[in-house]
Amino acid sequence: FQTVSGSLTQALEVRSGETLLIRGGTSSIGMLSCQLAKHLGLTVISTTRNKSKKEFLIENGADHVLIDNGTVAEELKELFPDGVNKVLELIGIKTLKDSLKCIKRRGIVCMTGILGGEWTLKEFTPMGDIPSLGRLTVYMGDAANLKKDLLQDFIDAVTDGEITLNLDKVFRLDQIVEAHRYMESNLAKGKIVVEI
């Protein structure tokens, strides 16, 4: 929750009525971001590489789902011709330039995740890759960034059933190899738990 809340409320400064694109929608951060954004009154577009997870993302609260092959800007502009207000970038460097093409005037892209496994952008031209008046930020906060009222609102939303915590599968410690294989297979639909 701390990462999701900080990304949405502090880095992206989301407001009710805005549009949010979540790159990496099937990750645990992506799924909770979708639910929290919906709770805050946003329209959410989530991405996945796996077509079979589209319905799962809709059930998780996404208003629209895009199949992500590394570029979604053109398809997104078919839904929102001017772009979206905010983008939560969880894939990272591999899709960052395309995510910047998805924002509307004065839009914000926040890079919070590096699911794509690359840490350094080799070619980046700020005055070409960031649209005019667009903003690029990152979120790497910690628990000190967590506001008590936002945490309480989240706890209340979970208690009231407005937000569902997605736990996919529980493994015993002696099943750690199987748990790792499951995680790397990209089949999970939520958090994977290993009981110690």
pLDDT, position 40: 95
pLDDT, position 191: 84
CATH number for the region 2-143 comes to: 3.40.50.720
Task: State how far the Cα of 62 lies from the Cα of 121, in Å rounded to an integer.
Answer: 29
- Neighbouring CB atoms inside 10 A of 59's CB total 10
pLDDT, position 103: 98
Structural contact between residues 4 and 113, judged by C-beta atoms closer than 8 angstroms: no
Longest CA span, the chain: 53
pLDDT in tens, the chain (196 residues): 899 999 999 999 999 999 999 999 999 899 999 999 999 999 999 999 999 999 999 999 999 999 999 999 999 999 999 999 999 999 999 999 999 999 999 999 999 998 888 888 889 999 999 999 999 999 998 778 788 898 899 899 999 999 888 888 999 999 999 999 998 887 777 888 999 9
Residue intervals of the chain classified under CATH 3.40.50.720 are: 2-143
pLDDT, position 150: 87
Structural contact between residues 100 and 124, judged by C-beta atoms closer than 8 angstroms: no
pLDDT, position 117: 83
pLDDT, position 42: 98
pTM above 0.75, yes or no: yes
Which residues, in sequence order, are CB contacts of 170 under 8 Å at separation 6+?
A: 193, 194, 195
Structural contact between residues 86 and 21, judged by C-beta atoms closer than 8 angstroms: yes
> Which tokens hold the place of 182?
């499951």
pLDDT, position 118: 83
Do you know the residue count of the chain? 196
E strand or H helix at 107: strand 103-111
